[in-house]
């Protein structure tokens, strides 16, 4: 009884300690804040966007943004080459990036952690097979294979999510494999094996919960990775297709106007940069809290 309360209060203390570290971690806070604003913007896009992001107005092409002398509040960030309101397109664009990022991380996370846990827990031949899969996957150029696959199947949001999700599971597998290998040797796993727990039960109750920290850190990295990859694919014209307001596609469409209307290039890029930076800060912060570095 008293041992239990002691353990419970120790766990509470650890949680408390974690929370305190989280609140003191500047990067983590900044990342969370930016990401929260972006998610809020994406969810509330129909309320926030002043115009329909697909509405073309050829009479009002390339209107200057508000900080130019002839800018107007009708189009605070101006309009693109087809007269579409740029602010509205930027707001709706965050939906695409977020969907791609989290969708891909979910798919690749499931594939990668399944492979990683299997390799780490069973070892031997399973491990060899998984390591071989990882090496093979790493040797294939992601952008090139993704471009070719999207071109073959046809560019749409769903296709891009699946293609990227099926390609970027490697880091999940590598990290979760290493984490599982460490846990496999621990006493509570041996105890569970001795007590006759089924393999599934051990994996679900003893292994998975204990690799969750690392899983979360890799997941944030892969969300960022997927966002950047989608932007690159769409920039090359073989990702999300027009007229969708993908930030990468918007940069690509603005290329022909870049010398006279450079903001058309800079703004979507700032969006991408801020989103990826926020996710990376969040990931770095989570890692620091899970395993505080001694030298910091």
Partner 1 sequence: MLTYTLKRLVLAALVTLTVSVISFGLLRLSGDVAAALAGADATSADVEYLRRHYGLDRPLPIQYLDWLGQALRGDLGQSLYFKQPVAGMIRERLPVTLTIGACGIAFAVLLGIPLGVIAALRPNSWVDRAALTLAVCGQALPSFWFALLMILLFGVVLRWLPISGFERWQHLVMPTVALGYNALPAIMRLTRAGMVEVLRSDYIRTAYAKGLARPAVLFKHGLRNALIPVVSLTAVQLGFMLGGSIVIESVFALHGIGHLAWQSISRRDLPVVQAIVLIISCFYVLITLLADLVNASLDPRIRMGGAR
Residues that bind partner 1 (CB under 8 A): 27, 132, 135-136, 138-145, 147-149, 151-152, 224, 228, 231-232, 235-238, 248, 251, 255, 258-259, 262, 265-266, 268-269, 272-273, 276-277, 280-281, 284, 295-296
* Residue (158 or 262) nearer to partner 1, CB: 262
* Residue (72 or 136) nearer to partner 1, CB: 136
Least distance in angstroms from the C-beta of 43 to partner 1: 23
* Residue (207 or 238) nearer to partner 1, CB: 238
DSSP assignments along the chain, one per residue: -HHHHHHHHHHHHHHHHHHHHHHH-HHHHHHHHHHHHHHHHHHTHHHH-SS-TT---GGGTT---TTSTT--TTSTT-B-TT--BHHHHHHHHHHHHHHHHHHHHHHHHHHHHHHHHHHHHH-HHHHHHHHHHHHHHHHS-HHHHHHHHHHHH---HHHHHHHHHHH--HHHHHHHHHHHHHHHTSHHHHHHHHTT--HHHHIIIIIHHHHHHHHHHHHHHHHHHHHHHHHHHHHTTSSSPTTS--HHHHHHHHGGGTTT-THHHHHHHHHHHHHHHHHHHHHHHHHHHHS--TT-
* Residue (58 or 152) nearer to partner 1, CB: 152
CA angle, 63 then 257 then 226, to 5°? 100
Least distance in angstroms from the C-beta of 288 to partner 1: 12
* Residue (7 or 143) nearer to partner 1, CB: 143
Least distance in angstroms from the C-beta of 1 to partner 1: 42
Least distance in angstroms from the C-beta of 54 to partner 1: 23
Least distance in angstroms from the C-beta of 47 to partner 1: 28
* Residue (197 or 241) nearer to partner 1, CB: 241
* Residue (213 or 288) nearer to partner 1, CB: 288
Least distance in angstroms from the C-beta of 224 to partner 1: 7
Least distance in angstroms from the C-beta of 187 to partner 1: 20
Q: How far apart are CA 128 and CA 125, in angstroms?
A: 5
């Amino acid at each position: 009884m008293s041992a239990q309360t002691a353990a419970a209060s120790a766990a509470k203390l650890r949680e408390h300690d974690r929370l305190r570290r989280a609140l003191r971690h500047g990067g983590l806070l900044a990342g969370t804040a930016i990401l929260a604003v972006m998610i809020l913007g994406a969810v509330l896009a129909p309320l926030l966007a002043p115009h329909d992001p697909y509405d073309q107005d050829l009479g009002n092409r390339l209107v200057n943004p508000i900080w130019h002398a002839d800018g107007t509040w009708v189009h605070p960030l101006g309009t693109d080459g087809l007269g579409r309101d740029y602010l509205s397109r930027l707001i709706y664009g965050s939906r695409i990036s977020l969907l791609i990022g989290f969708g891909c991380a979910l798919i690749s996370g499931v594939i990668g952690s399944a492979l990683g846990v299997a390799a780490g827990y069973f070892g031997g031949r399973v491990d060899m097979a998984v390591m071989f899969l990882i090496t093979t996957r790493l040797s294939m150029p992601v952008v090139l294979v993704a471009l070719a696959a999207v071109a073959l199947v046809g560019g749409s949001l769903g296709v891009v999510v699946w293609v990227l999700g099926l390609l970027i599971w490697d880091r999940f597998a590598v990290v979760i494999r290493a984490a599982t290998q460490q846990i496999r040797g621990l006493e509570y796993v041996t105890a569970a094996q001795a007590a006759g727990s089924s393999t599934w039960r051990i994996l679900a109750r003893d292994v998975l919960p204990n690799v969750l920290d690392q899983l979360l850190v890799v997941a944030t990295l892969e969300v960022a990775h997927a966002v950047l990859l989608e932007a690159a694919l769409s920039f090359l014209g073989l990702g999300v297709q027009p007229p969708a307001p993908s930030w990468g596609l918007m940069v690509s469409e603005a290329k022909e106007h870049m010398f006279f209307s450079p903001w058309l290039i800079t703004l979507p890029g700032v969006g991408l940069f801020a989103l990826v930076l926020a996710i990376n800060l969040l990931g770095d912060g989570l890692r620091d809290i899970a395993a505080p570095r001694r030298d910091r």
